[in-house]
Structure 1
């Protein structure tokens, strides 16, 4: 898996202060996407265990209280990304059990493959659906267009 950007401190992509990872690769290629540079699966930098260790350390840091991890992209649920994302989420839930995980994907919850569904037990909030420019609404919280749905899988709604 490749990634484009990692923010150790982020207050935009989910509630509270968070760690946010923008992965590479997206097949949806939505018209009006704000992050087109992440579409190619081989763009960005290689994701490795060193970055994974950094994410875990940042989540455990008591100097900056982070609420959790946000994954965006690109698309974290792109089949090419699933092995690395699964490993990361397993570590987060095992080593940082009090942190929540938010994931943005262009796939719809009801259309996920069995391989993608494996990750759902590690995801607290899933924001699904492609960005649709004609349904864009800047007043929405945590999503860009009205068709996208916030699924509180393991958390109560904010």
Structure 2
């Protein structure tokens, strides 16, 4: 898997202070996408064990407590990303207790493949659906167009995931 951006401190992509990773690879290629540079799977930098170690260390840093991990892109649920994203999330669950995981995808929850569902089992909040430029709605929290949904999958882990903001 490749990635484009890594933010060890982020307050934009989900509630609270977070760690955010933007992965490469998206087959949706939505018109009006603000992150077109992430569409190519081969673009960006390789997400290797050293980068995963940095992410885990940052999530556990007590000097600036992070609430959780946000995964966006590109698309973390792109078929080519599933093994790496799944391994990362398993490690986060094992080594970062109490941290929530938010994941943005252009796929719709009800239409996920079995392999995608296996990864989503490790996610607390899923923001699903492709960006639709004609449905752009800048006032919506955590998403860009009104067709996209914020789905709280594990309310106990997500600390209500900002549900009052939705």
Same fold per TM (> 0.5)?
yes
Structure 1 match to 2:79: 79
Equivalent residue pairs, number: 158
* Deviation for aligned residue 1:157: 4.6
Query: In structure 1, what is the Cα distance between the partners aligned to 2:85 and 2:120?
Result: 11
| TM value normalised by structure 2 | 0.94
What is the root-mean-square deviation of aligned Cα atoms in Å?
0.6
Query: In structure 2, what is the Cα distance between the partners aligned to 1:126 and 1:117?
Result: 11
Q: Please give the secondary structure, in 1, of the residue aligned with 2:121.
A: helix
Query: In structure 1, what is the Cα distance between the partners aligned to 2:91 and 2:53?
Result: 9
Which residues of 2 match residues 26-45 of structure 1 at below 5 A?
26-45=26-45
Query: In structure 2, what is the Cα distance between the partners aligned to 1:151 and 1:54?
Result: 28
Structure 2 match to 1:128: 128
Q: Please give the secondary structure, in 2, of the residue aligned with 1:5.
A: strand
2:39 maps to 1:8 = no
| TM value normalised by structure 1 | 0.99
Structure 2 match to 1:112: 112
After the TM superposition, list the runs of 4 or more consecutive aligned residues in structure 1 that deviate by more than 3 angstroms.
none
Query: In structure 1, what is the Cα distance between the partners aligned to 2:64 and 2:25?
Result: 30
Query: In structure 1, what is the Cα distance between the partners aligned to 2:107 and 2:131?
Result: 10
Structure 2 match to 1:150: 150
Structure 2 match to 1:17: 17
Structure 1 match to 2:57: 57
Query: In structure 1, what is the Cα distance between the partners aligned to 2:26 and 2:120?
Result: 19
Unmatched tracts of structure 2, length 5 or more: none
Query: In structure 1, what is the Cα distance between the partners aligned to 2:63 and 2:8?
Result: 12
Unmatched tracts of structure 1, length 5 or more: none
